[in-house]
A and B are shown apart, each in its own frame.
Chain A
């Protein structure tokens, strides 16, 4: 089953999403901030990265940009998770090279659909 890296600083969100993904049969690894997210993508080589955009140390936009600039991690799909109604955030995420985005609160079936599409394409 595919390995997912979840980069999220909020403890409750992290706990929820990781448990729900594990239930779906995914292997989940976790990073708490943007910098360790970048580091772990290199070390763990996940099949897909779910990245919150407002992260400490290094924000999600910057982190995504670094992942996409690095030939080693460039091909790993990144889904940005942004807050509702922040159109600018969404555009920034895509401009930073994220492959897709979804809004919080997470609607699991919708997110799973996006993940599966990217995982198939990989």
Chain B
């Protein structure tokens, strides 16, 4: 009996224990369920928050882009409005100064000079502000061309000579005789040097100002402007490139200038892929050193090993972007255009592919997971094998200067505009495939205009100022297309064309006649038989000319034998 009782008790105990366990399990399950529900809720609200924040951020960014655009539009139109009355102030004071007879009281002359001087100062200030705001808005255009360094230096020297003489200073220009040419934005380099030199003349009296230039290893050109003037303290030196940072307010009164020249100088240097460094000893003088790439596009001649490489119809592009959607937005227009597109989701892959495939260009999103775009860019630019590959950076607004400083060739902001992307790519690729156009015209302003139009399209341009020079240029290397004026002294366009068509190597050279001559029917027929196209100056539009040249460049590409120099 005892064992039965014992069994019953044990059953009872076990039952209770199971019930308790079930109760605990149920409670725990409920707890887990509740926790889960709370987590779920939290998660949902987090997601909602993230969505909300993303929308807010996008809106804020759009707002910032709009605001920046509005600011530069405002500045542009404001500076126009400011300039109009200023033109009148300067103009009328000049008119009064022009004719001494108008001045019944010659003692007023110094006052008139002050009015004109102040007007010109104000005008300089407005122009500088406009320049800075354009740089900030990314709207400062660059025009790249090959130019002779020594010629530029002597031209700059001639411009500053009167300024130098003003304070009893002496001037010296120093460089090796064979500096050769560089390919950059000539106007910007000229302005950089003029800014630095005019500063030097302002802060130096009875001293010496030196402009020197030399080539550095690594295809860079160095310009140096030094003076024996008042110099700067360490604090002044530290803030020298900040806008309106002249040593103190009295400096502006004593020495003039807008206080923006050095800020603009630094921005220009960066835009050209270079930098400017200031050095000074207080009381002894200052030295400004500018270093810029000899060729802006990082584009030395293509390596022979690269030429034989298998590539897409028009080249290979590597896209480094961690976002699949971002990659697609970049890759799609490229492959449609005929590029072979390689993609990498991160920096490690990107660098490996760059080494293995040697693409013609790299498009790099700055935000990447394993290392950031800046690091990748630095690694690319410090690798001897990769540093010549042009890199287009995809960045947020305002980071482009950093990109240029680190060696990026071009720069895009999201959202990507496919047309802009292709244009940029064509531009950075120019060195490998740039068809060159020979412009033969005796009128400098026409040559200037044509060159600007053509360079814009990513072509390289050679110029000849006469028929004879045109034929000499042809003999040096056969261009993809020749633009030819008719009315030139001595050897005219008709004669050039006759020679070209009689020379075996140039028989197929596409020639576009650009002329202001009124052509007789006979002349027109003869030209149509000997040239690809005849455009009348003033009657053709820019887009017609570009379209005509592009068609010829492309035709020539399809039959490359045409381009072999004779």
Contacts and interface: CB of A to CB of B under 8 A. Distances in A.
A85 B95 contact: no
Interface string A69-97: 10100110000000111011001001101
Contacts of B94: 108
A105 B539 contact: no
Interface string A89-122: 0010011010110001110100000000000000
A88 B453 CA distance: 11
What is the interface of chain B mostly: helix, strand, loop, or mixed? helix
A105 B453 contact: no
A74 B519 CA distance: 13
Interface in B340-376: none
A105 B123 contact: yes
A95 B123 contact: no
Contacts, number: 70
Point out which of A16, A85, A87 has the most chain B C-beta atoms below 10 A from its C-beta: A85
B55 interface: no
Contacts of B95: 16, 19-20
Given A23-B99, A85-B130, A91-B449, A105 B538 contact: no
A105 B86 contact: yes
Interface residues of B, number: 32
Interface string B77-88: 000100111111
B417 interface: no
A43 interface: no
Contacts of A71: 518
Contact of A99 (B84, B130, B445, B518): B445
A16 B92 contact: yes
A83 B80 CA distance: 8
Contact of B131 (A85, A100, A108): A85
Contacts of A68: 537-539
Given A10-B84, A95-B453, A95-B542, A20 B98 contact: yes
Contacts of B335: none
Interface of B: 80, 83-88, 90-92, 94-95, 98-99, 123, 127, 130-131, 134, 141, 445, 448-449, 452-453, 516, 518, 537-539, 541-542
Closest 8 CB pairs of A and B: A68-B538, A97-B538, A94-B449, A12-B88, A95-B542, A16-B91, A105-B87, A105-B90
6 contacts: A12-B87, A12-B88, A13-B91, A68-B538, A85-B134, A104-B87
